[in-house]
Amino acid sequence: MEDISAKNPRHIAIVMDGNGRWAKDKKKPRVWGHKAGVTAARKVIRAAAEANIEVLSLFGFSSENWRRPKKEVDHIFSLFFDALSNEVEELHHNNIQVRIIGSRSRFDLPLIEKIEATENLTRKNTGLVLAIAIDYGGQWDICEGIKSLVEDIHSGKLAADDIKPTLFSHYLSLGDLPDPDLFIRPSGEQRISNFFIWQLAYAELYFPNVYWPDFNEKEFAKALDFFTSRQRRFGFTGEQISKSGEGYA
Ligand code: FPP
């Protein structure tokens, strides 16, 4: 049997939610909360690297977030640009590989160039893979995957009969990496909100009751404790797993 003991997750996916409410509680503008959100992201990236997590995916901006007031959207994008500019050297120095996932069709040229430079610089790094989802949606991802798959069928590279979940996974964003095994959404909301809808099939779901700007190293450690306390069954019975003698927690 595959080793499914509850050790640390290999891939953690986080919806960074609650920046606006955090700011409102403090009687500050929403953008204040987003700025604090960048600081929280920095703490969590460091904690994930120290815990030897293989992949950390952060949901920064969804396909639906374009519906927000233009001023807020512009501010969020300028924060992304500045964060990439300011953090890239340190991320690289720490052997972190950065990937930006999502549609780039609405990005301006300086941002596209910044993303490409960051990805190229860090491409060969062998430590934590940091995936930041910007203008990403799980349904968009699946549609893009289907488009590539259909092209491969048309070109004769693939037969329709070859399509299986494991094969299709490779057509999705981060398809070369393990799927998230821990999903975290702070702020009290309990929704996936069109993040990795295919990739989260077997993830443990964790909803801590803090806003994202307050999610720090301590909260990260609590999330790991939550994960290691779960019995992950992958379709087996609890008895099968207990009897396997591996001490699945
Ligand atoms: C979610 O809180 C935050 C966003 C949609 C904005 C983007 C995230 C950041 C700026 C954090 C930094 C990330 C990186 C990786 C640089 P919300 O606005 O939905 O909060 P609310 O639900 O309380 O209104």
Cβ–ligand 1 contact at 91 (below 6 Å): no
Cβ–ligand 1 contact at 41 (below 6 Å): yes
pLDDT tens profile 126-157: 999 999 999 999 999 999 999 999 999 999 99
240 CA to centre of ligand 1 in angstroms? 41
pLDDT tens profile 172-196: 999 999 999 999 999 999 999 999 9
Task: Check if 17 is active-site.
Answer: yes
Taking residues 54-62, what's their average pLDDT? 97
**pTM tops 0.95:** no
Cβ–ligand 1 contact at 23 (below 6 Å): no
- Dump strand ranges (E) for the chain: 11-15, 55-62, 97-101, 129-136, 182-184, 204-206
From CA 36, how far away is CA 30, in angstroms rounded? 10
Q: Cα 76–201–188 angle (5° rounding)?
A: 50
Domains, the chain, ranges and CATH? Answer: 11-137+180-243 (3.40.1180.10)
